[in-house]
Amino acid sequence: MIILVLAMVAGCKGGQAEWFEGSMVEALAEADERQTVLAVSVTAEWCPACHELDRQFWNTRHGRSAGEKYVLKLFDFDSEDGRRFVSRYSIISIPTTLVMDKEGHELGRIVGFEGVGEYRRTLAAISARTSGTDIIELEKMLSQRPDDLQVALELGEAMLNTGLQQQGIKVLEKVLVKDPKNVAGGYVDATRILGRYFVRCKHDYHYGSEYFQQAVDRFPDAEEVWEFRYWIGQAKWKSGNEDEALEYFKTLTVDHGDVAEAHSIRARFLQLQCVELEDALGAVQKARKLDPTDDWNCYVEAEILHKLGREEEAMQSLEKAIELSKEKKAIYLDRKEAWCK
């Protein structure tokens, strides 16, 4: 289970990390006193990769070791403090671990989780820096390799992260122009960064949705754009148009009735918002019929059944998700442990 209760001391206990409970100002003061860096992790209970990060790193001897070297602080993405931190530091994706020096200057960030070894090496490398991401160096690289979309994506996102909004948008929109058919994956990647930035960090739901909708219109049958459709519906909900959001997801299942993803994203949305749970159950069961090998749909079904109080059926669906999952996803295992208590 993702740790949401923060410990007061930035040390360690047993086989896992403990988290500094005080404010950011106090955490930075602790880093100054210990002459080390502050590592801030942003996670969410609903985020599968966050559970992997916890289970494989923070809740192990690796987390304990990190606590001995650095001051650690955790933000729950869905908390009030978490939302403020996400907006202030432009946390576009989660999990994100942001590393700061004792004066509060960002040295770098780790986005996502791609295994213990990679995470440990990256955390150590960033912590050893004396300054943050060198945007000037990235600009130099892009001037030398103007068609390198990966460098452009890194530069654009780095600019957004550091408050250079207009410059970052300009760089990323050039990627949209250079890869209009998404041959190199640049169009989708740039859309994901821009859309999430406006929806998640700036709470500009209209502007963020426009980027997602452009990609949906351009590649209506691409698998990647189902994620964007979910974000469009979520943006409608967050902007206060709840009925419009519900109708949007319902329409998707009508217009794409034979596509499992349409039913799956509707079910997941309703489950997370805890509304229309019987409809959510029907949607996810339809998704399971269309794609019986998808472990994620079994998990979503388990969550819905659990909320409906149908515990035995929920556990059966969860066991099926674990059975189908080749990687034995941490979020499934964590949920099973929680339900068995």
* pLDDT number for residue 132: 75
> What is the CATH number assigned to the segment(s) 12-127?
3.40.30.10
- Mean pLDDT of all residues belonging to the chain: 93
Most confident of 122-131, 206-215, 321-330: 206-215
Range of lowest pLDDT (40-54, 195-209, 240-254, 319-333): 319-333
- The gap from C-alpha 268 to its chain's centroid, in whole angstroms, comes to 15
Mean pLDDT for 25-50 is 96
Residue 39 has pLDDT above 60, yes or no: yes
* pLDDT number for residue 131: 79
**Could you state, in order of their start, the residue ranges of all structural domains in the chain?**
12-127, 133-239, 241-341
Is the omega angle on the peptide bond into residue 95 within 30 degrees of 0, that is, cis?
yes
Q: Long-range contacts made by residues 332-335, C-beta under 8 angstroms, separation at least 24?
A: 332/295, 332/299, 333/55, 334/1, 334/2, 334/51, 334/54, 334/55, 335/299, 335/302, 335/303
Do the first three CATH levels of 133-239 and 241-341 match, i.e. the same topology?
Answer: yes
Residue 13 has pLDDT above 70, yes or no: no
Residue 328 has pLDDT above 80, yes or no: no
- For residue 39, the SS3 value is strand
* pLDDT number for residue 326: 82
* pLDDT number for residue 119: 96
Higher pLDDT, 151 or 12: 151
* pLDDT number for residue 313: 98
Architecture, CATH, for domain 241-341: Alpha Horseshoe (1.25)
Q: Please, what sign has the CA dihedral across residues 175, 179, 180, 185? A: negative
Which amino acid does the sequence have at 82? G
Instruction: Give the residue among 263, 202, 277, 264 at the shortest CA–CA distance from 235.
Output: 202
Mean pLDDT for 313-341 is 94
Mean pLDDT for 59-82 is 96
Higher pLDDT, 3 or 211: 211
pLDDT digits (tens, 9 = 90+) for 243-302: 999 999 999 999 999 999 999 999 999 999 999 999 999 999 999 999 999 999 999 999
* pLDDT number for residue 5: 35
As given in the structure block, the two tokens for residue 146 are 């103007």
Residue 182 has pLDDT above 50, yes or no: yes
User: Contact at 8 Å (CB) between 74 and 96?
Assistant: no
Residue 41 has pLDDT above 80, yes or no: yes
Q: CB 289: neighbour CB atoms within 10 A?
A: 11
* pLDDT number for residue 1: 41
- pLDDT band with cut points at 50, 70 and 90 for residue 6: very low
What contacts 271, CB < 8 A, 6 or more positions away? Answer: 277, 280, 284, 300, 303, 304, 307
Higher pLDDT, 23 or 2: 23
Instruction: Give the residue among 216, 315, 300 at the shortest CA–CA distance from 264.
Output: 300
For domain 133-239, which CATH number applies: 3.90.1150.150, 1.25.40.10, 3.40.30.10, 3.40.50.80? 1.25.40.10
Instruction: Give the residue among 182, 190, 168 at the shortest CA–CA distance from 223.
Output: 182
* pLDDT number for residue 129: 85
Share of the chain above pLDDT 90, in %: 91
Instruction: Give the residue among 79, 64, 51 at the shortest CA–CA distance from 19.
Output: 64
Mean pLDDT for 82-100 is 96
* pLDDT number for residue 3: 39
pLDDT digits (tens, 9 = 90+) for 112-163: 999 999 999 999 999 998 777 789 999 999 999 999 999 999 999 999 999 9
Instruction: Give the residue among 74, 67, 73, 66 at the shortest CA–CA distance from 124.
Output: 66
* pLDDT number for residue 14: 53
Q: Is 218 exposed, middle or buried (0-12, 13-18, 19+ CB in 10 A)?
A: middle
